[in-house]
Amino acid sequence: MPAVLSKISTPTINVCHSASSLPCGVWNAFKSDPRNSNIIYSHALRATQAAESSANDEHLEVWIICSTGDEIDFVLSCTHHAMGEYPIFIFCARPCSDLVPSFVVPRIQLLANALHSCVDVERVYSVFALDLVSRIFADTWSHLAQVRYYHEPYYAAKITFCTRRTLRVRKFTTLPDVSYDMRLAVASDIPATAKLCYGFASEAVPFVLTMEQATKEATLLTSRKQLWVHTIEALNKPSEIASIVAVTRESETVAAITKVYTNPDWRSRRCAERLVRNVTQNLLKTKESVVLYVAHNNPAASKVYDRVGFAGLAGSSLPVNGVDSWLEVGFDRDMIDLGHW
């Protein structure tokens, strides 16, 4: 009875400065919806593990929880990682049917007020959440912090998922004199994978990388065993890395794939489809589902991810529960410090 509860109870705010201090109710909310909470949940798990290992980290982290009675409504995170500061992420713990302006607006106002009291305006360079939540936060923060936001979003995407049931196994015909290999990246791959990380970022304005930064990213992903490569050896030429896929966000039951990118010289050969399917199959040996975000205008939605078995992407498909639209809205780059994710 969430709708009744929201009318008779006043939402409250709880601010935490470490993942390890998050209330049990938040962890339960993450576990109840591990796909939609994947971004925040996976980072909270890593941050907790880092704290337990006594990792020294002077970066400010802010977690803000909005609750109504005993029910978690939203969890906002303002955190960082090795490549820089993350956007503001907002996880909605309520069913989408609850997300009407009369419910969302007052709660987002409380979250924004709490965030404004904790961080400098320069820290908030973008917000990523469900469409309605992002738009309301952007409008609220713009008025509160006196910083304009861009009406053209940085990223408009669907969250989708693949399970053992939806996975589509397919065998490809191998061409003569061509051999493929799909494996975790190793240190000797870094010069080549850094170029692909650079290429991926160059298509994700404003989050572009220098080659030095791309090399750092490729090195980190490789050392953490989070980067997969698809190699091709053709016509007795040296083996080349055609595609990459990263696996950077994991919880007990869900893993996320990101940074799917193919060398332009090897496109239209289904390298990305082959590698995404291989990585997804490997992840599903131990996870219940694999999630990813795919831009609404990305042709890979039908050419790659739908073919592999990610739900709700076929043009004629009916709406799928759990496949929702998310939005990243950016703030005036003359007034903020741009991070990276």
**Separation between Cα atoms, residue 159 and residue 311, nearest integer Å:** 9
Q: Give the CATH number of the domain where residue 183 resides.
A: 3.40.630.30
Is the same domain home to 175 and 93?
Answer: no
205 class by beta-carbon count within 10 Å (0-12 exposed, 13-18 middle, 19+ buried): exposed
| Domain membership of residue 215 as a residue range | 167-310
265 lies in some domain: yes
What pLDDT score was predicted for residue 59? 63
Q: What is the pLDDT of residues 206-258, one digit of tens each?
A: 999 999 999 999 999 999 999 999 999 877 788 899 999 999 999 999 999 99
Is the same domain home to 127 and 194?
Answer: no
Is the same domain home to 173 and 301?
Answer: yes
Is the same domain home to 147 and 175?
Answer: no
Please, where are the H alpha helices in 53-154?
101-116, 131-145
Token pair of 1 as six digits: 């009875």
Residue 173 has pLDDT above 70, yes or no: no
317 lies in some domain: no
What pLDDT score was predicted for residue 60? 77
177 lies in some domain: yes
Is the same domain home to 152 and 209?
Answer: no
Q: What is the pLDDT of residues 65-77, one digit of tens each?
A: 999 999 999 999 9
Is the same domain home to 49 and 86?
Answer: yes
Is the same domain home to 142 and 195?
Answer: no
Is the same domain home to 143 and 187?
Answer: no
Q: Give the CATH number of the domain where residue 115 resides.
A: 3.40.630
